[in-house]
Amino acid sequence: MKLQEYQLKNIFRQYGIPVPDGRVTSYAREAKRIAEAINGPVVVKAQVLSEGRGMSGGIRLARTPEETEEFASEILASRIQNEPVSKVLIDEAVTIGEEYYILITYDRAEQIPVLVMYDTGSLYIETAANSLYETLERVNIDPLIGLQQFQVYDLASRCNFPLKYLRKLFEICGQMWKIFCELDATLVAINPLAISTDGRLLALDGKISIDNNAFFRQQTLFDSELSSISNMYEYEAQKYGMCYFRMDGNIGVLANGAGLTMSCIDYLRHRGGRPANYLDMGGSVHDQKAEKALTLLYDDPRVDAVIINIYGGKTHCDKVAEGLLRSISHNKRKIPTIVRFSGTNADIAHEMLKGSLIATVPDMPEAVDKVFEFLGAPANEYIN
């Protein structure tokens, strides 16, 4: 689970990591009052989990409270990567002198936590986090000992971090490690950590991702994030032992098993389709789980069609069919639904669905063909 910016900044404040003065709101008029209280230029930021908010118009610099109200109104009425904006964060505008990228995550190759740092002045931040990750300066953290000051000093020296801010950097990195451990995080990042022209060291933005397996320990955090559409679906799936990820397409994908789900998504993309999600019901599926999974897809306004791919091993296809049939009452938009069964009791499942609003097919190629047929366009019209 990922946290929105206003939530992670609240956590940063609780742990003593300095952030700009700011508040979150769902109302343009209140955004104006927040700007008046800050008494200076502010940044109006859409609170969504989608990448590229700035390029999509979700981050605006406002010089007056009146501009703040205008920009907040526009952003709250918009969608960022198909996600509606329900909140905006009003932060004081900070003039940046220098900026750095810092994160704590797991190094999967070394199987150990790692602290990474980079001077972001010469590198686009998303590139730093992804394609050039291996080139960034880093130190491994022994989980039994924890992050040590000499490690932070070593990393700061390699990045030419100003010595006058070193003590504050020790504190910030120490608190990031504390967040990483106490919140069962898989990622704690500050991007950027800025040195402002007035001499302050501030976390202007960042990311915190919480391990879904820590749901029972971090339930308060999971509950607080239900305002995010993508996390709402993720949360509901988690309660039934399923794994959900939101994607940017319009074709819902449902399968049992990570490999089967990924192969379904890959084949759909290969044919030019755009998956709306990854939804894996797991290796053992009962009728209630199948009902809940398909209901999640039917309730997603982005989904125009659904492909279901079920392999019956210890999962009995007829039990899955029972759940799918019960979910039909949620299909108020008459979303075309195509299912492919194979394995245990597949023939019974096919018989059960005859005459229903869920079409059955023998294989994935035919399932994709039917999806494109229902959507009224050949596959090549869906190629990006």
The low-confidence residues of the chain, meaning pLDDT below 50, are 122-132, 226-227, 229, 378-384
In sequence order, what are the residues at sequence separation of 6 or more whose Cβ sits closer than 8 angstroms to the Cβ of residue 355?
none
Report pLDDT for 137.
83
For each of the domains in the chain, give its residue range(s) and CATH number, in order of start: 21-92 (3.30.1490.20), 96-214 (3.30.470.20), 240-382 (3.40.50.261)
pLDDT of 370 reads 92
Tens digit of each residue's pLDDT (9 = 90 or more) over 5-23? 998 999 999 999 999 999 9
Instruction: Kindly state the tokens that stand for 32.
Output: 């104006």
Confidence (pLDDT) at 382: 36
pLDDT of 128? 45
State the pLDDT at residue 133: 53
326 closest CA partner among 363, 362, 364, 352 = 352
pLDDT of residue 224: 54
Alpha carbon distance 115, 101 (integer Å): 11
Convert the pLDDT of each residue in 148-171 to its tens digit.
999 999 999 999 999 999 999 999
State residue 248's pLDDT score: 82
- DSSP single-letter state for residue 283: S
* Contact by Cβ (8 Å): 251, 304: yes
CA distance 316 to 314: 6
